[in-house]
Structure 1
């Protein structure tokens, strides 16, 4: 028997359906633009309600259930007989993640954090402080709900896009998308004026509102 890790096409429905994954991966297209708009709206709505479910998942699940979600010994692997394609597929378990499985899990967890950060960093929940408060609040829930003995938790993150000030300014002047932090950085270093900063941030906010309006008008 050979072991095969279930890929995107093999995995059952989660927040996304297999069809959603194929679309987001660029493997399939919709024939009509309205169908694509409707699909994107359905994906956003499922993600939104999945985020709201986070409160129930943590507070209602036993702590044992929580860690078993991430324990490789409780995650089934899809296996098939490499010598006989007619043999039905079965499930197997392993004591630890393979390098490929851990890489995929790591990217998945980073993806959730990136999704949350990008959501609160943009309008209407603007600011790094919001993300920091969410991290602190999540850790506090663990301490209070699972009676953890943790007196202090320090987390400092320093990261930035690997571009020079001149490259950022060129990107700004050519109309490329910059984050609010990058815009503020240009302003603090006297590379753009206050009006440029405000107009850029307001313009991005207007774009977000316009995108939602365009989608909503097609309901």
Structure 2
């Protein structure tokens, strides 16, 4: 799904979206730095605004915001949480220190408001990660033209310049779709093609070649 840069202004203005998506030409480095500083400021101000929203936005308005079956909205919520998680992790913060009291307070307020009851809430946030493939190994495989999995490709798409000088990437898809993932593999491939402005060439043996325009 291609991002819609012409939506109304949210945290980002249409011009901000165009800049981040590489659709706006800025000849001067100072212009780029100004745009990035403006975006950082808007993100910070938006986060602070949630303190007002959670306490002062009317319940009917909050419900109308979330009463939607638009898949883009759920994708946006997932991306919002991912952004917060990555940002806190990179800065040395603990995501659970923000998540646990937020969920606890929300459950207490919900129970009092909807059920007329006081509740005790136990929230536990636990993440276990297991390194499967190092980013450097993925980079070597891509450079050698060897197939990589969607998860391996994703690992080098975030915070890495591995794909900057790559013309094509071959993806090895699994024989069975992972229904537990946020995206099915074919949906992930479509998102990758949009993100990289690439063409797809489907190959035998459950492989797909991503042709990146340079």
Q: TM-score, structure 1 length as denominator?
A: 0.52
* Structure with the bigger percentage of helix: 1
**What's the CA shift for 1:22?**
1.0
Unaligned runs of 5+ residues in structure 2 are 139-155, 160-214
Unaligned runs of 5+ residues in structure 1 are 1-6, 73-96, 180-219
**Structure 2 partner of 1:46:** 42
Query: Does residue 133 of the first structure (1) align with residue 97 of the second (2)?
Result: yes
**What's the CA shift for 1:157?**
4.7
Q: Write the mapping of 1:101-116 to structure 2, written as runs, cut at 5 A.
A: 101-102=70-71, 104-116=72-84
| C-alpha distance 39-60 of structure 1, shift in aligned 2 (>3 A) | same
Equivalent-residue separation in structure 1 for 2:63 and 2:122 (angstroms): 20
CA RMSD of aligned residues (A): 3.2
How many residues matched? Answer: 136
Deviations 1:48-105 (A, max 9, x none): 0110011100011122222211112xxxxxxxxxxxxxxxxxxxxxxxx2xxx31x22
Larger radius of gyration: 1
Partner SS, residue 68 of structure 1:
helix
* Contact 1:59 1:145 (8 Å CA) reproduced: no
Q: TM-score, structure 2 length as denominator?
A: 0.53
User: Which of the numbers 9, 24, 28 marks the counterpart of 1:13?
Assistant: 9
Q: Which fold has the larger relative contact order, with Cα–Cα distance below 8 Å and residues 6 or more apart in sequence? A: 1
**What's the CA shift for 1:153?**
4.6
